[in-house]
């Protein structure tokens, strides 16, 4: 074994960073044996230098992250700051000064992955980021390496623990969105400002990263259709139950039938209770991958948290260190397929539509005509009357999102349709 240590600079020492530092110290012998050389924490960049950090030598702590990545003797920079800047500038500077990078930064990778990969390649360095998607669950490595000889057609998953906690709570207790969110906040599953989670921004970033890797093409964050889950109601859950379904916020990346284009989207959807994703409870994550040869694979585990994320970071750290000792780099960006990313209108799926209608003869015929005129075939209709008002629940066969949108616009114009109570996609069948 090489005795000269590989030097690691840690950018950020919050929940994840402190756990990375702790494991690097307590498991130093294991890491050395697995890498083939010791690893040494050479510096820790933080914003608040005064804070006491158990187990970290105060002499290593600095507020000057730029100087740390410019030192020139750093082998690997571990970036767990998050956000776009200064993370982007620091990572770029790290490559320029000879370091490889391990990052947990989904927002940055989703927005600027291509440019960062290009910089890494230009300098002959590694950029690894297993921790950016679904915490500890190995997903990027399996997609990039294990399935490198296969053709992935679909990635379907729960990639945000906060929203899964909220939806699971709504499902199991009958609570409304706000009540479930309040509980998630009280328990620390939701942040004070939960926007990134509940509006689907976090999941959309992960969808962009997963789609790019799965389909060997570039998928930008703006390419991902995004719908949050703040408007999911207790009534939606009751409707879902009547169909033998529950509701999950899903990230769905699909290859089109002809293979020439892909789509990526995040939205709440009904899925059958018999689907394995339906039983993913609490803040857990799970991702289904469907490919030509392997068939259906599922990966399940904790999608967030300091320790799980640190596990993923350290797995990457070991890989990058090994590559460095080998004088090699791992697989970089693979975007050769250069596929078109189609808009949401092209997505084909099923829909559950709940309408408030006048309770009089002929309404169903009118509504059915509108669906037919837009080429959307109806699977089932359920009519419920109550005091002069009625509700009509329509479940469609597979149709394009564009056709469905046209249908709903036309339905809204009908005098007999008083309102569209909810529209939800039905997936996983």
Residue 419 is a binding residue for a copy of itself (CB under 8 A): no
Q: What CA–CA distance (Å, rounded) separates 79 from 152?
A: 29
Residue 336 is a binding residue for a copy of itself (CB under 8 A): yes
Binding residues for a copy of itself, rule CB under 8 A, total 59
- Tokens 């590989």 belong to 6
Select from 41-49, 58-66, 296-304, 391-399 the region that touches a copy of itself (CB under 8 A). 296-304
40: three-class secondary structure by DSSP: strand
Residue 322 is a binding residue for a copy of itself (CB under 8 A): yes
Rounded to 5 degrees, what are φ and ψ at 92? -60, -45
In the set 15, 114, 294, 420, which binds a copy of itself (CB under 8 A)? 294
Select from 329-337, 339-347, 390-398, 402-410 the region that touches a copy of itself (CB under 8 A). 329-337
In the set 70, 299, 402, 422, which binds a copy of itself (CB under 8 A)? 299
Handedness of CA 266, 429, 304, 151 (dihedral sign): negative
Task: Look up residue 310 and give its two tokens.
Answer: 């640190």
Contact assessment for residue 356 and residue 418, using Cβ atoms and an 8 Å cutoff: yes
Q: Cβ of residue 88: shortest distance to a copy of itself, in angstroms? A: 25
Q: Residue 194 or residue 308: which is nearer to a copy of itself going by CB? A: 308
Q: Residue 180 or residue 312: which is nearer to a copy of itself going by CB? A: 312
In the set 121, 256, 323, 366, which binds a copy of itself (CB under 8 A)? 323
Q: How many CA atoms lie within 13 Å of 234's alpha carbon, on the beta-carbon side?
A: 11
Residue 355: CB partners within 8 Å, gap ≥ 6? Answer: 367, 391, 392, 393, 394, 411, 417, 419, 420, 421
Q: Cβ of residue 333: shortest distance to a copy of itself, in angstroms? A: 12
Residue 328 is a binding residue for a copy of itself (CB under 8 A): yes
Strands 389-396 and 340-341 come out as unpaired
In the set 53, 117, 216, 265, which binds a copy of itself (CB under 8 A)? 216
Residue 307 is a binding residue for a copy of itself (CB under 8 A): yes
Active site residues: 206
Angle separating helix axes 15-26 and 306-326, nearest 10 degrees: 60
Q: What CA–CA distance (Å, rounded) separates 304 from 134?
A: 7
Q: Residue 66 or residue 146: which is nearer to a copy of itself going by CB? A: 146
146-175: contacts with a copy of itself (CB under 8 A): 146-151
32-51: contacts with a copy of itself (CB under 8 A): 33-34
Q: Residue 159 or residue 355: which is nearer to a copy of itself going by CB? A: 159
Q: What CA–CA distance (Å, rounded) separates 226 from 87?
A: 25
Q: How many CB atoms lie within 10 A of CB 89?
A: 13
Q: Cβ of residue 72: shortest distance to a copy of itself, in angstroms? A: 24
Contact assessment for residue 287 and residue 280, using Cβ atoms and an 8 Å cutoff: no
Contact assessment for residue 8 and residue 78, using Cβ atoms and an 8 Å cutoff: yes
Q: Cβ of residue 238: shortest distance to a copy of itself, in angstroms? A: 24
> x/- site string to a copy of itself, residues 108 to 147, per CB under 8 A?
----------------------x----xxxx--xx--xxx
Q: What CA–CA distance (Å, rounded) separates 179 from 399?
A: 34
Q: Residue 33 or residue 115: which is nearer to a copy of itself going by CB? A: 33
Q: Residue 194 or residue 301: which is nearer to a copy of itself going by CB? A: 301
Task: Look up residue 69 and give its two tokens.
Answer: 């990545």
Handedness of CA 264, 269, 273, 279 (dihedral sign): positive
Burial class (CB in 10 A: 0-12, 13-18, 19+), 341: buried
The residue ranges that bind a copy of itself (CB under 8 A) are 19, 23, 27, 30-31, 33-34, 130, 135-138, 141-142, 145-151, 216, 276, 279, 291-302, 305, 307-308, 310-319, 322-323, 326-329, 331, 334, 336-337
């Amino acid at each position: 074994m090489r005795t000269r240590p590989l030097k690691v600079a840690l950018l950020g020492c919050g929940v994840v960073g402190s756990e990375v530092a702790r494991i690097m110290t307590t498991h130093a012998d294991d890491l050395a044996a697995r890498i083939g050389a010791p690893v040494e924490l050479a510096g820790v960049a933080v914003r608040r230098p005064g804070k006491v950090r158990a187990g970290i030598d105060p002499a290593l702590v600095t507020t000057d992250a730029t100087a740390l990545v410019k030192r020139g003797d750093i082998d690997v920079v571990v970036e767990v700051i998050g956000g776009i800047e200064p993370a982007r500038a620091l990572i770029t500077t790290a490559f320029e000064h000879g370091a490889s990078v391990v990052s947990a930064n989904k927002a940055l990778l989703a927005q600027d992955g291509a440019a960062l990969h290009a910089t890494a390649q230009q300098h002959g360095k590694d950029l690894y980021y297993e921790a950016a998607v679904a915490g500890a669950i190995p997903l990027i490595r399996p997609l990039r390496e294990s399935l490198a000889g296969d053709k992935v057609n679909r990635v379907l998953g729960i990639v945000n623990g906060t929203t899964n906690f909220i939806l699971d709570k709504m499902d199991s207790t009958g609570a409304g969105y706000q009540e479930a969110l309040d509980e998630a906040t009280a328990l620390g599953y939701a942040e004070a400002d939960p926007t990134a989670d509940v509006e689907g921004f976090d999941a959309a970033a992960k969808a962009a990263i997963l789609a790019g890797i799965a389909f060997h093409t570039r998928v930008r964050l703006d390419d991902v259709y995004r719908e949050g889950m703040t408007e999911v109601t207790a009534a939606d859950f009751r409707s879902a139950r009547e169909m033998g379904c529950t509701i999950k916020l899903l990230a769905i990346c699909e290859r089109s039938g002809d293979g020439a284009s892909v789509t990526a989207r995040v939205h709440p959807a009904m899925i059958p209770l018999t689907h394995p994703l339906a039983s993913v409870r609490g803040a857990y994550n799970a991702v289904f991958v469907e490919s030509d040869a392997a068939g259906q694979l599922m990966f399940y585990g904790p999608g967030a948290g300091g320790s799980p994320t640190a596990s993923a970071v350290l797995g990457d750290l070991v890989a990058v260190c090994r590559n460095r000792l080998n004088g090699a780099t791992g697989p970089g960006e693979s975007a050769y397929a250069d596929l078109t990313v189609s808009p949401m209108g092209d997505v084909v799926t099923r829909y559950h539509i709940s309408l408030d209608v006048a309770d009089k003869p002929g309404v169903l015929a009118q509504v059915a005509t509108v669906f037919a005129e837009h080429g959307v075939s109806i699977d089932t209709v359920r009519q419920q009357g109550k005091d002069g008002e009625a509700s009509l629940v329509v479940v469609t066969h597979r149709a394009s999102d564009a056709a469905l949108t046209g249908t709903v616009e036309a339905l809204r114009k009908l005098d007999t349709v008083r309102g569209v109570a909810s529209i939800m996609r039905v997936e996983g069948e």
